[in-house]
Chains A and B, each alone.
Chain A
Amino acid sequence: MALYSGVIRERFRRPRFRGAIERPDVAHEDVNPLCGDRVRIQGRLTDGRLAEARWTGDCCAICAASADLLLEAALGQPVDFARTQTPASLLERLDSDIRPSRMKCVTLPLSVLQEALSGHEVTR
């Protein structure tokens, strides 16, 4: 498996969900203390679903691709979706040989999204 798969390179060069949302319903930003990567995720909610989502950040290709793929998967899904995501599901989308030292790059967008949506989950 390659260090940087075609998926990572493609999403790094041409992210589909990079940007900002005016007056978002939810937003969160966090930083990876190991490398200083910073990711901000904003979203709009409609009927308990993530209707719109964007990320910005100063981060590496792995983190950028992970954020972009995560938002693509989460879009249109119920808010609870973020809670169902695991490092393994993120790795599957990235399709790369991710070293343990870069796992935080993979998981930072997920923890930011989960924190952004925290408190907005639908209670059943």
Chain B
Amino acid sequence: MTLGEKTRRDFPILSRVVNGHPLVYLDSAASSQKPLAVIEAISRYYETSHANVHRSIHTLGEEATERYEAARDAVRAFVGAGSREEIIFTRGTTEGINLVAQAVGRTLKAGDEIIVSELEHHSNLIPWQMACRDRGALLRAIPVVGEGYLDLEAFDRLLSARTRMVAVAHVSNVLGTINPVIHIVERAHRAGALVLLDGAQAVPHLPLDLHAIGADFYAFSGHKMLGPTGIGVLYGRREVLDRLEPAWGGGEMIKEVWIDRAQWNDLPWRFEPGTPPIAEAEGLHAACEYLGKLGMSSVLAHEQALVARCLNGLAQIPGVTIYGPRNPEMKGAVVAFNVEGLHPHDGAALLDQQGIAVRAGFHCAQPLMRCLGVAGTLRASFSVHTTAGEIDRLAAAVATLRSQL
């Protein structure tokens, strides 16, 4: 039994019928579905232990705090961070990147440079545009070449003593390209720059060892890794967080407050103002445990096999163009494609008629769409519960699209 067949029964939503067909959910890169273990963990928390954390001197408050901090430990172990102080809970990847862009942004000077890449999701582009605009800094982009790889020679040429931050995706949300992040971190650090990695598409699919990767910041979302919406994680390297001023103020992030000044709290709470997403942390904890039990190496092997099958299936269909690396080992669990003469939104609407959910559009990556010379693409993305049979249903349905319009 494959991983997909084994895990399907854990996801209640997969028993749905959509437009008269059993649901084939191939949009996990936008947001993953949730296993029962995650759904039940959230319900159980609300039914038995909910209270505010860190400040309530009563049994429920203590239980909630214990559970919230236990979730932090689970996340730390899951991503291989060095210490719990390095794990900051946010609302999602976007908030984590904005936190860094604002906190680091305040230290930028006119003429400083930030390097992103052409394949970034808007959430790892716009916050840097804003930081540069506010401080008179310059934004540079690593070009995308060939089947969708970063041009590392161009990256070397872009790096200089003026480079303050390199912010790139670990895995492209459109092309699926797994970027050589260890190499990027090593080059950036040698130039004296900080590195932020957008891990939204990597954490659900790869075994991670953040300590070994060595990036200064790593942001990801709970809802793309079988966890709930409304929670994300910003990993920050201890030495960097220690000297970083908080981006936002409020309760919880302080130790002592006077009318005209305050003393910041210890890590990681210094970066968590306000009541955090407590129930969501409980759900994320369950998601880490669920993925941990499956084993991320098994998840990666399973999804690479699906990507290979999808690439192969779609390549047989006349008029289909595939974007991104053709080598499944260089790819996360996404396959972007177009059908000649068919707008991606029409393709997605017609696939939906057959119960198949895919994403269509520019995938929050307009600069990359310009590089590819398209207005948008279709995108199928996979998760632990995806089966080979579903990939075959997709390919069969795609083959009929042109005749339907």
A3 to B405 CA separation, bound complex (whole angstroms): 10
Q: Are A60 and B346 in contact (CB under 8 A)?
A: yes
Q: Are A4 and B405 in contact (CB under 8 A)?
A: yes
Q: Are B366 and A36 in contact (CB under 8 A)?
A: yes
A61 to B350 CA separation, bound complex (whole angstroms): 11
Q: Are B343 and A60 in contact (CB under 8 A)?
A: yes
| Chain B residue nearest in CB terms to A9 | B405
Within 8 A of B (CB), among A1-35: 3-4, 9, 12-13, 34-35
- Given A36-B362, A60-B345 in contact, is the A3-B376 Cβ separation under 8 Å? no
Q: Which of A3, A38, A105 contacts B350 (CB 8 A)?
A: A3
Q: Which of A3, A9, A12, A34 contacts B349 (CB 8 A)?
A: A3
Q: Are B405 and A61 in contact (CB under 8 A)?
A: yes
B313 to chain A, nearest CB (A): 24
**Cβ–Cβ < 8 Å partners of B312 in chain A:** none
- Given A3-B349, A60-B343, A61-B346 in contact, is the A36-B405 Cβ separation under 8 Å? no
Quick check: is B361 within 8 A (CB to CB) of the other chain? yes
Q: Are A102 and B345 in contact (CB under 8 A)?
A: yes
**Cβ–Cβ < 8 Å partners of A121 in chain B:** none
Quick check: is A37 within 8 A (CB to CB) of the other chain? yes
Quick check: is A62 within 8 A (CB to CB) of the other chain? yes
**Cβ–Cβ < 8 Å partners of B369 in chain A:** 36
A38 to B343 CA separation, bound complex (whole angstroms): 12
Q: Are B349 and A36 in contact (CB under 8 A)?
A: no
Interface size on A, residues (CB 8 A): 18
Could you say which of B350, B353, B361, B375 has the most chain A C-beta atoms within 10 Å of its C-beta? B375
Quick check: is B59 within 8 A (CB to CB) of the other chain? no
Q: Are A36 and B350 in contact (CB under 8 A)?
A: no
Which B residues form the contact surface with A (CB < 8 A)? 343-346, 349-350, 353, 360-362, 366, 369, 375-376, 404-405
Which A residues form the contact surface with B (CB < 8 A)? 3-4, 9, 12-13, 34-38, 58-62, 99, 102, 105
A73 to chain B, nearest CB (A): 23
**Cβ–Cβ < 8 Å partners of B361 in chain A:** 34-36
- Given A4-B404, A36-B361 in contact, is the A58-B346 Cβ separation under 8 Å? no
**Cβ–Cβ < 8 Å partners of B343 in chain A:** 37, 59-61
A112 to chain B, nearest CB (A): 16
A75 to B140 CA separation, bound complex (whole angstroms): 48
Q: Are A12 and B405 in contact (CB under 8 A)?
A: yes
Q: Are B375 and A37 in contact (CB under 8 A)?
A: yes
Q: Are A36 and B376 in contact (CB under 8 A)?
A: yes
Q: Which of B346, B353, B375, B404 contacts A36 (CB 8 A)?
A: B375
A23 to B369 CA separation, bound complex (whole angstroms): 31
**Cβ–Cβ < 8 Å partners of A105 in chain B:** 345
A-B residue pairs in contact (CB < 8 Å), sample of 8: A3-B353, A4-B404, A35-B376, A38-B375, A60-B344, A61-B346, A102-B345, A102-B349
Q: Are B376 and A62 in contact (CB under 8 A)?
A: no
**Cβ–Cβ < 8 Å partners of B344 in chain A:** 60
A38 to B375 CA separation, bound complex (whole angstroms): 9
| Chain B residue nearest in CB terms to A105 | B345
B195 to chain A, nearest CB (A): 30
**Cβ–Cβ < 8 Å partners of B345 in chain A:** 35, 37, 60, 62, 102, 105
A86 to B386 CA separation, bound complex (whole angstroms): 43
**Cβ–Cβ < 8 Å partners of B350 in chain A:** 3-4
B18 to chain A, nearest CB (A): 13
A60 to B361 CA separation, bound complex (whole angstroms): 11
A70 to chain B, nearest CB (A): 18
**Cβ–Cβ < 8 Å partners of A4 in chain B:** 346, 349-350, 404-405
A109 to chain B, nearest CB (A): 14
B400 to chain A, nearest CB (A): 13
| Chain B residue nearest in CB terms to A13 | B405
Q: Are B346 and A35 in contact (CB under 8 A)?
A: no
**Cβ–Cβ < 8 Å partners of A9 in chain B:** 405
A68 to B366 CA separation, bound complex (whole angstroms): 27
Could you say which of A13, A37, A60, A62 has the most chain B C-beta atoms within 10 Å of its C-beta? A60
A28 to B369 CA separation, bound complex (whole angstroms): 23
A76 to chain B, nearest CB (A): 30
A6 to chain B, nearest CB (A): 11
A72 to B376 CA separation, bound complex (whole angstroms): 28
A59 to B346 CA separation, bound complex (whole angstroms): 10
**Cβ–Cβ < 8 Å partners of B376 in chain A:** 35-36
A34 to B348 CA separation, bound complex (whole angstroms): 14
A38 to B344 CA separation, bound complex (whole angstroms): 14
**Cβ–Cβ < 8 Å partners of A34 in chain B:** 361
| Chain A residue nearest in CB terms to B352 | A3
**Cβ–Cβ < 8 Å partners of B366 in chain A:** 36
